[in-house]
Every structure is written in C-alpha cells, then in structure tokens.
Amino acid sequence: MYDIAIIGAGVIGSAVARELSRYKLKILVLEKELDACVGTSKANSGIVHAGYDPEKHTLMAKLNADGNKAYDKLAKELSVPFKRNGSLVVAFDDEQLAHIMKLYERGIENGIPKLRIIGHAELLKLEPNINPEAKGALLAETAGVVDPMLLTISLLENAVMNGAECKFDFEVKSITPENGGYTLKSDTESVSAKFVVNAGGVYSDKINDMVAPPRFKVNPRRGHYFLLDKSEEGIVKHTVFPCPTKIGKGILVAPTAHGNIILGPASDDIDDRENLGTSEDCLNLVRKGARLLVAKATTRNAIRVFAGMRAEPDTDDFIIEEAKGAKNFLNIAGIKSPGLTAMPAIAEYAVNLLKDMGLSLEKNKKFNPIVERSLFIDLSEKEQAKLIKKNPLYGRIICRCENITEGDIVDAVNRPMGATTVDGVKRRCRAGMGRCQGGFCGPKVQEILSRELNKPLDSVVLEKKSSFILTGKTK
C-alpha cells in the first residue's frame, strides 16, 4: 500500500508529488495519459502573475502572492527558463484608467511589491510598439514568464528522482475506501493508498464524486492561442494585457520564456472536457484583440495555433480542502488562473493540510531539489566542444529551428521519467517546437525514440495512446 496516491500529473499533481518527496513517503502519481503535462498545464499563457487580480482575502490572493515569490528559486532548482519581464495592464480611456487604479489598490492590499501606474509617455517608452492611443498602464515588475511544460515535467521528474513512482496510462475509474485507505482502479489495474490527492484538473469534480457527495462543479473552458515565430521577438518585452473584463484577463501579447511571442487567449465554454480543438471565431478574436493592443502583433508569422483547457470552478476561489465525507482525501480543484503562478504555494499549502489530516512527515534526508539540464545550444563554445568530444551525438543537430542535437534528444528520452512520445521529446528539449513544427526533425525524433526505447518505428505516437503517426511499412 502506498502512503499517498496523487491523481493527475499536471502542474499541481507534479508539484505536490515533489513537495511530498521531501519526506519519507511511498508516493504514487496516477496519470491517464502517457506523460506528464498533457492537459491544462501544457496549453496556457505561461504567465507568472504579479497578484493584483484576485479579490482580497481569497485563497487565490494569498497563494498567488506567495507562489510568485517562490518562482526564482524553483525555476533555478529545476533548470526551467523563467524571466521576470514585468506585466502591463493597458488602459485606453478614463473608465479603464479608473479600473487599473482599482487593480493597483487591490495589488497593494494583496501585498504585491513593485506596482506602479505609468502614463502614456512612459508606457510608449517601455513598449514602443503598443497602440499609441493607450492612456496609461499598471506596471507590475514582479510578473514573469515561464515554460509551463518543462516546469511541470521537471517537477515530476524531480519527485521521481527522489523516490516517487508514476503510473502513466492509468485512468482512475473508481475509488473505494478499503482497509483504512483507498483502492483506486483503472480498467486493468488496481492500486491502494492511505491518502489520496485529487489533482484531476478538469475531471477533479468527477473524481471527488467517486468518493464524496458532489460539492463543486468544474466547467471546461477553452482558451485559444497563436504562437509566433522567434523572428517576432522583441515586438513586446512585457506581458501586455488589455483592461480585464468580467470573463477574464483578455487577450494578451507576451514574450514566451523561449523568445517567441504568444497571443491569446480567446475563451469559450464547452461541454466536452477533451475538446482541445480551435474554432475560427475564437482565433479571429485573438487576431483582433492582439492587433488592438499591438499593431505589429499580426499572425503572419504564426507557427502554431492551439487551445488549452481550463478548469473553471463554480466557486469563486480555488478549492483546496479535505473532501467532505471522505477522510484522508484531499481535493485540489478549480485551479484556474493564476493557478500556474500559485502552484509552489499550493503544493506547500496542500502538504500542510495533509499533515493536519494525519499524514506523518519524516524528512527525506537524501532529498535533492536539483534537476540538472542543459541544452547544447545554451552552452558556451568551450563547453559545446567538450560535450561533443565526450558524446559525438551532441554534434548532430536534429531540430534546425531550435538547434537541438541528437544528444539532447537522447537525453530527453533516457533521463528519469524520460519522453516516450514525440510531444514528450518536444516538451523536454524543444525539438519540433520551432518554425517548421517538426517537419524536418519529426521523422528523426521518431527514429531516435524507436531506437532508444527499442520499439518499432510505427509504434511511436505523437502524444496520446492512439495518436500513431505511421501506418506500417510500405513493403
């Protein structure tokens, strides 16, 4: 029996697993997909919010502020790209100016440092490409951008390095209390654990309902994005938001942690929790919204469009509490924006709750918080030359858009909790993330996966179990 089972290998489940791996515990992470970071965590803006948005005294406000502060250390420990590029909420008229003033005040109440209202002139100096009709903006210097995919994967990878176990392709179909713990079953397997953490994202309400009376509902909402080529780097340096409305923070224009530009999201509420498709209407909303903010933010050099799923709770706040009527079962649900930002604080908060619930926490003295990772392209010339000498595969560039070498890809496959899918490789080392979107390197990546995992080339999948790419040999 495991001490604790965590349902879901998104950013929250992975962070909780890592936080728990600081203690001597038998930890199991259950994930219905083939890799970590295949749901909500893979497709979002990648913004680390300053924390002026959430209403005072909410859990969201507290965890946002604390989470933001934790990012420098966390990103460094996990070798994940993170930049405090600052954010701007731009106002175009007096009403919006009044609104950003309100945001400013709320930020101060929430204890957010380095907030400032700036006027037209300073705004245009900071961001020369912004719509010159802008009257002013709220500048939040502590806002940042992070690679949410690499972050999620690294969190879980670090947990695995420290002893946590993962079961992929394990979709929890039933949970039953048994022997003072819980038995969790998929269609083919069964595991048991004393404590359970529900980090099931858009399915967290359904998972709660397997063991406890329904208490909340999660409504799936899609957010549409455009990712622009790195040639557009520099059109904005800050994360630029329009003035928020009732339905969200609006369509932003922002740099990504890797130097692309991201536009979005345009959101729509849908019924199907697996529907990550994009709709032309929403894409047009992104096009329009982005242009309004920054005229240069056109989709002429788009390299990808995508939609991400968000878990919108029917409560106004994050739901982080023991399930009513199910002892030792912790719900972490409705983690919508600023969930990514709040993640480090959510994990700590959750572990404290688990301790209060009776989970015994004895320090794991061997805990190592560091994930070492460096891509060939990020090394100095000297280090590059040395690395090729040590392993010639680092001299063969496979992904020409991002300059990712065969050595980098082999490492992505063979490291702890390594990639088993083409997208898994992409999320770990960026091969296929560039302007040709894997057109050139895709076949090579498949070959490397096939070789390193010793399985037939046509059994390599893109991301999900049946997302096969080839349909057999021609001869």
Partner 1 sequence: MKNYDIVVIGGGPAGLAAAIEAKKQGIKKVLVIERDIELGGILQQCIHNGFGVHIFKEELTGPEYAQRYINMAREENIELLMDTIVTSITKDKRVRATNCGGILDIQAKAIVLTMGCRERTRGACAIPGDRPSGVLTAGAAQRFINIEGYNVGKKVIILGAGDIGMIMARRIVLEGGEVIAVLARGNIVKGLTRNIVQCLDHYNIPLLMNHNIIEIKGKERMTSVVVAQTDERKDVIPGTEKEYECDTLLLSVGLIPENELSRQAGIIIDRKTSGPVVNESMETSVEGIFASGNVVHVHDVVDFVTEESCRAGRNAARYVKGEISAESEAMNVVVSGGLSYCVPHKIRLSAMPDKMDLFLRVEDIYPEAKIVIKNQGKELARFKKTHLTPGEMIKQTVVKALFKDCKGDLEITLEVEGGKK
Q: Between 34 and 156, whose beta carbon lies closer to partner 1?
A: 34
Q: Is 298 in the site for partner 1 (CB under 8 A)?
A: no
Q: Is 397 in the site for partner 1 (CB under 8 A)?
A: yes
Nearest to 244 by CA among 46, 40, 45, 52: 52
Q: Is 305 in the site for partner 1 (CB under 8 A)?
A: yes
**Which tokens sit at 194?**
């004393």
Is residue 99 part of the annotated active site? The answer reads: no
Taking each helix axis from N to C end, the angle separating 442-452 and 406-414, rounded to the nearest 10 degrees, works out to 50
Burial, 381: exposed, middle or buried (Cβ in 10 Å; 0-12, 13-18, 19+)? exposed
Answer for which of 393, 410, 417, 429 binds partner 1 (CB under 8 A) is: 393
Answer for which of 109, 132, 189, 468 binds partner 1 (CB under 8 A) is: 468
Q: Is 280 in the site for partner 1 (CB under 8 A)?
A: yes
How far apart are CB 279 and partner 1 at their closest, in Å? 6
Answer for which of 292, 443, 452, 453 binds partner 1 (CB under 8 A) is: 443
Q: Are 267 and 286 in contact (CB under 8 A)?
A: no
DSSP string of 331-365?
Answer: EEE---TTHHHHHHHHHHHHHHHHHHHT----B-T
Answer for which of 389, 390, 451, 455 binds partner 1 (CB under 8 A) is: 389
**Which tokens sit at 23?**
């203690």
Q: Between 22 and 464, whose beta carbon lies closer to partner 1?
A: 464
Residue identified by tokens 């060939």 is 376
Write the interaction track for partner 1 spanning residues 204-243; mark x where CB under 8 A is met and - where it is not: ----------------------xx---x------------
Answer for which of 141, 317, 348, 463 binds partner 1 (CB under 8 A) is: 463
**Which tokens sit at 317?**
């706040």
DSSP string of 376-405?
Answer: GGGS-HHHHHHHHHH-GGGG-EEETTTTEE
Answer for which of 370, 439, 455, 459 binds partner 1 (CB under 8 A) is: 439
Q: Is 475 in the site for partner 1 (CB under 8 A)?
A: yes
How far apart are CB 459 and partner 1 at their closest, in Å? 11
Q: Which letter, b or e, does each residue of 323-335 get, where b requires 16 or more Cβ atoms within 10 Å of its Cβ?
A: beebebbbbbbbb
Answer for which of 129, 131, 298, 403 binds partner 1 (CB under 8 A) is: 403
Q: Is 299 in the site for partner 1 (CB under 8 A)?
A: yes
Q: Is 303 in the site for partner 1 (CB under 8 A)?
A: yes
Cβ partners under 8 Å of residue 182, min gap 6: 5, 175, 176, 192, 193, 194, 196, 211, 328, 329
Answer for which of 211, 290, 302, 448 binds partner 1 (CB under 8 A) is: 302
Nearest to 88 by CA among 230, 223, 237: 237
Q: Is 168 in the site for partner 1 (CB under 8 A)?
A: no
- Residues that are catalytic: 49
Query: Interface with partner 1 by CB under 8 A: which residues?
Result: 226-227, 231, 274-280, 283, 299, 302-306, 381, 384-385, 388-389, 392-393, 395-397, 400, 403, 405, 435-437, 439-440, 442-443, 457-458, 461-475
